[in-house]
Amino acid sequence: MKETDLLIIGAGPGGYRAAEFAAKNGLKVVIFETGDVGGTCLNVGCIPTKSFVHDAEIIQTLNNAETFGLNGLDYEFDIQKVIQRKDEVIASLRSGIETLLSHPNITLVKAEAQFLDAHTVMAAGEEYSANYIIVATGSVPKTLRLEKPVARRVLDSSDLLSIDSQPKSLCIIGAGVIGMEFASIFNAFGTEVIVVEFLKECLPVLDSDIAKRLRKSLEKQGVTFHMQSAVTAITEDGVMFTDKKGNSVTVEAEEVLMAVGRAPLVFDHFRHAGFDYSERNGIIVNEHLQTTVSHIYAIGDVNARQMLAHAAEMQAIHVVNQILGKSDDIRLDIMPAAIFTLPEAACVGLSEDLCKEQGVDYICKKSFWRANGKALAMNEAEGLLKLIASPNGDILGCHAYGAHAADLIQEVSALMCRNTTVEQLAQIVHIHPTLSEILQAAAEQ
């Protein structure tokens, strides 16, 4: 049996970050990964989709070239080159992670690790034991349970990122983050996009007013939405659903994308470790990411708390600090998130909807991209920011859509972590002309 200080199962954003941080702090680490290092985020998630988003942004700019004085432009779109560039970006970043994991204190085992007991795992015929274990197995795409068998190929997000030709039409089931990003991307690529969503509005994580405005913006760009519609079957012809009026509708599409969210990736062998978990809710953890077995921790998507790569990374650092007996100021309760549509959206903290639902007294301050000089100069007048504060000025949250919305929300997140008030925000000098003045304008109201 091989003994070490820390075992980590999974080398995604949470796993490799935990390994790197633990090794720098003197711990001996063994990390297990069955696939490519980098997890979902690097290989089939955040990074490849953002590569696609950048290509879509360029196309959108070219389509509006006359606005910038560029007349008579002509181009041909080659999705194979888009795929090639995406693969090159992934390969470069994957190489960087492999370099991180070559630290003398880290051993990378490219094999599946299975629990034998609460301190021991088996991988590639070897037994490994440690005083502490971190589970970071990530998540997998969800799918709908339909009454009738699916009669055609249905893509998941991984499939769509490696598609060999551009579809003429694409039906996306689900208007969450994944569905909305792909709807925006492939619409810009020139594909006819139809989105079918069960809920009343897209992106439930966002303020409903912001979400509605973003959806309307994508509709103006050519995306068709069927909201409050329940998919009943996927046939050779397309997607069948019941609309909000109870009518049966069939949408014909060359390709179908299933984008109904992700589920924590749990395994039967977890039972040998003795901690509590379920297929739906993942591994149960406390505020310090400890499982019900105190020396075993679970980070990232597998604990189903915040399925975000940056959440996994910060959870990793917090857990290693716990193992080392160190305190930190990481605020896992303040977690910004972004949706990289065109235009993009982002949020942190409470929305107006949640304030009303929870009976929280609040003040909502708004500002618009159309009133910002930099936004107009960029030809990006579409956008709204909502700054939510308590009556005494504590910042409770911020939700926005518009160019570089994620950058503005990141500033709010940092300020919330330091308990900055709206009045103090209004008195912070912001560079002119920048989009950050949109935030300052809201605070000054």
Residue of 119, 318, 404, 432 marked catalytic: 432
- pLDDT at site 147: 82
- pLDDT at site 237: 85
Query: Catalytic residue at 272?
Result: no
Average pLDDT value for residue range 390-410: 98
Nearest residue to 27 (alpha-carbon basis) of 19, 38, 35, 39 = 19
Residue 271 near residue 108, CB atoms below 8 Å: no
Task: Write the DSSP string, 325-375.
Answer: T------TT---EEE-SSS-EEEEE--HHHHHHHT---EEEEEEGGG-HHH
Q: What is the pLDDT of residues 235-283, one digit of tens each?
A: 998 999 999 999 999 999 999 999 999 999 999 999 999 999 999 999 9
Look at residue 406 and give its three-state secondary structure.
Answer: helix
Please compute Rg for the chain using Cα positions.
23
Residue keyed to tokens 């749990």: 266
This prediction's pTM: 0.96
Q: What is the pLDDT of residues 157-168, one digit of tens each?
A: 999 999 999 999
Q: What is the pLDDT of residues 271-321, one digit of tens each?
A: 999 999 999 999 999 999 999 999 999 999 999 999 999 999 999 999 999
Q: What is the pLDDT of residues 95-145, one digit of tens each?
A: 999 999 999 999 999 999 999 999 999 999 999 999 999 999 999 999 998
Task: Write the DSSP string, 34-66.
Answer: SS-TTHHHHHHSHHHHHHHHHHHHHHHHHHTGG
